[in-house]
Structure 1
Amino acid sequence: MGIYVVTSLKRGSGKTTIAQYLSQALSILNKTILLDADLSSANYEWAMQQNNHLGFEHINVVESDSNTLDLRIQHLKNHYANIVVDIHGHDSNALRSVLKHANKIIIPTGLTEQDTRLVQEMLALAIAIKQFNTGLQIYIVLNKIPIGTDAEEIIEAKKHLQDIPSAKFLNTVIYNLDEWPSYLNNALDDQSSTDVQVILQDFLTEVLN
């Protein structure tokens, strides 16, 4: 069983899209639920699909609430092999209560210096949690990178992020492909989205290994 937390301090980082893909992919392997605990109440109508191995639940939570998520995750562990949690990255009691259960935290980020600062802020929290949840694995992934971005810019961003201790920087670069919306609404073997499929499969392989 795995508990995956997808989170970011940056609005528009693409964490919700990653949570969607990850939960869909995991549901092929075993019974999975996507738990929408985002404080901004993201909309997940897409989750109501013909996949009885993928559950969905939105839970109302405020930043100061540490009990609601804690109790809900304890319950869901008895019913699902995998739990994917989509939650905002602000340091809060709600986020801390999730991370103490998590096996893996996935932090999507962009290329700017501000993006790097926000990742470092999130890592400070994750590393603090690792003192209690020693098995927590931390992943950073470049996400929503514009197609045509100069390779040197990506290499430079990677240098900064790879120097951050206690985290694994993924080799996969997820580009801001136009195919994402249509791809996520179709089967994972949709041949019309081959490029997207390859990128996301690389991401999945890194996260699950």
Structure 2
Amino acid sequence: MKTVLHIDSSARPGGSEVATYGSHTRRLSGRFMRKWRERRQDDRVLCRDVGLNPPTPVSAQWIHAAFTPPTDRTLWMEAVLHESDMLVDELISADIIVAGVPMYNFSVPAQFKAYIDNVVRVGRTFGFDRARSGEPYWPLLSEMNKKLIILSSRGDFGYDPSGRVADQNHVEASIRTAFAYIGITDVQSIAIEYDEFADERLTQSIQAAENAVDALVAGLTTQSEMRINADALV
């Protein structure tokens, strides 16, 4: 059995398949989860909607508490870090993270940045030792074989690598950087484009993204089944 962490970060509450002006990322993440459940009904699913319920942004008190050794923390420090601890625990327990993250002004929504700031935690997801020879920072989740799926959407087009405005896309790149820092480097991404044009190109982009989601789920679940069968033969 695997654990899938489903994260949505769009400010729009409904998917574009059911709501006028709905969220394309919720459409894709919802489709991913439906297809996954069809193939792996027994897997555990955790849902985290940071778009509608944003994590508390990092504060001076949070930083003070996070960089205080656990044995020295006071009750107020533990209280300040309680939400972050919960988010980190969810992330650590997950085998697959499915993140719906739309492009807002060339980068991730503030709600998702707050999520990243809460889970990139010294002593929990990355290590730091200024006296360590070589690199003083190191990832703590690198041996956990986690997969990250980024499902995005963009109003314009040409944001993929080698596209006309690829240099303006700070969504996937920033997410990959943050998650690689804590040890999650197995990342795949799918995106819908042309939202602001609302014409046939958008329709085609949605269809292509949904087809890609279906193929990704089929591939990942097939890999899991093959590993299970291989383990059973050992």
- When the two structures are superposed, what TM-score results if normalisation uses the length of structure 2? 0.45
Structure (1 or 2) with the larger CA radius of gyration: 2
Higher-strand-fraction structure:
1
TM-score, normalised to structure 1, is 0.49
